[in-house]
C-alpha cells in the first residue's frame, strides 16, 4: 500500500504513522458497523404522551406545540436535552460548547430529520441565551410544565434506585441531564428509536462516561493533536 510522505519525515515516523493508519481504518469500519446496527434496531416503545412544549412562534410570541407537530415534513426527529434548567445561573458549559458546534450543522441536518434542543428553562430565557451565543439555526424548546425530561432521562427523576447509585445521584436530589433521543413516526404513532445511553451505563475502568462525542467537533479536533483533550481542561461558557 502506498502512503503519503510529508517533507523531512523520518523512516521511524512513517512506520509508526502507517501502523496508526491501519488502526484508524479499523476504527472507521467499527464505527460504520455500529451505525448499521443502530439503524437496524426495531422500533422502541410508543411515546406515552403527545408532550406539549413551548417555543417562540413566527409572531415572536411564546406558543404551545405538541410533540407530534415537531416532526415537520420528516418521520424522524432528534431531541437534545440541554442542561439549562431554571435553577442554573448559567448553562452547562459542556452542553453549550457542543451546541456552539452543532448550530452550524443544524441547517444541513434538518434536510434529513427534525432537530430540536429542549431545556427546562422558560422559553424567553432560552431565546435570550441563543441570541447571546449567536445561535441562528437551531430550534429551542422549553419543557417547562411537561414530563418529557423525566420520561426520557433529560433529568434524574425517574432513574431506578440502582441507577441512581451507579450514577451517584444522592437520595432526595435531582438534576437535569444531557442526552440525545431519536424518535420515529410510523402509522400515526410516535416511537422512541434510540438514546445516547452510554452516559448512564455501568462505568468502565479507565473510560470516561461521555456519550455524545461523535456529535462533538471540539473533542474530535483535539483528538488530532499531540496534546489531546488534556487531563483537566474543560470548555467554559465564556473566556
- 10-residue mean pLDDT profile of the chain (239 residues): values are 92 96 97 97 97 92 96 98 96 96 96 98 96 96 96 96 92 94 97 95 82 91 95 93
pLDDT for the residue 80:
98
pLDDT for the residue 207:
80
Q: What's the predicted TM-score (pTM) here?
A: 0.94
Strand locations in 28-149 (E): 52-56, 62-66, 76-81, 114-119, 139-142
CATH 1.25.10 assigned to domain 52-200? The reply is no
Kindly list the domain boundaries of the chain, sorted by start residue.
1-40, 52-200
Yes or no: say if 120 and 149 are a contact pair by the CB < 8 Å rule.
yes
Beta bridge partners of 52: 66
pLDDT for the residue 139:
97
Which run of H or E residues covers position 151?
A: helix 148-151
Amino acid at each position: 500500500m502506498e502512503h503519503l510522505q510529508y517533507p523531512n519525515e523520518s523512516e521511524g515516523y512513517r512506520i509508526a504513522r502507517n501502523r496508526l493508519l491501519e488502526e484508524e481504518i479499523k476504527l472507521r469500519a467499527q464505527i460504520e458497523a455500529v451505525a448499521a446496527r443502530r439503524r437496524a434496531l426495531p422500533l422502541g416503545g410508543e411515546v406515552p404522551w403527545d408532550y406539549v412544549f413551548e417555543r417562540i412562534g413566527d409572531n415572536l410570541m411564546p406558543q404551545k406545540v405538541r410533540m407530534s407537530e415537531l416532526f415537520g415534513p420528516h418521520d424522524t426527529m432528534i431531541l437534545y436535552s440541554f442542561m439549562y434548567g431554571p435553577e442554573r445561573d448559567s448553562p452547562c458549559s459542556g452542553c453549550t460548547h457542543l451546541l456552539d458546534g452543532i448550530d452550524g450543522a443544524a441547517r444541513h441536518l434538518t434536510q434529513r430529520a427534525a432537530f430540536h434542543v429542549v431545556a427546562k428553562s422558560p422559553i424567553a430565557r432560552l431565546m435570550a441565551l441563543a441570541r447571546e451565543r449567536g445561535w441562528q439555526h437551531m430550534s429551542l424548546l422549553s419543557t417547562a410544565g411537561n414530563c418529557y425530561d423525566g420520561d426520557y432521562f433529560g433529568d434524574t427523576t425517574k432513574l431506578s434506585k440502582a441507577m441512581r447509585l451507579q450514577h451517584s445521584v444522592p437520595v432526595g436530589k435531582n438534576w437535569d441531564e444531557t442526552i440525545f433521543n431519536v424518535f420515529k413516526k410510523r402509522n400515526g404513532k410516535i416511537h422512541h428509536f434510540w438514546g445516547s445511553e452510554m452516559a448512564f451505563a455501568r462505568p468502565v475502568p479507565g473510560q470516561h462516561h461521555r456519550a455524545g462525542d461523535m456529535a462533538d467537533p471540539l473533542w474530535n479536533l483535539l483528538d488530532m493533536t499531540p496534546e489531546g483533550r488534556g487531563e483537566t481542561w474543560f470548555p467554559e461558557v465564556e473566556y
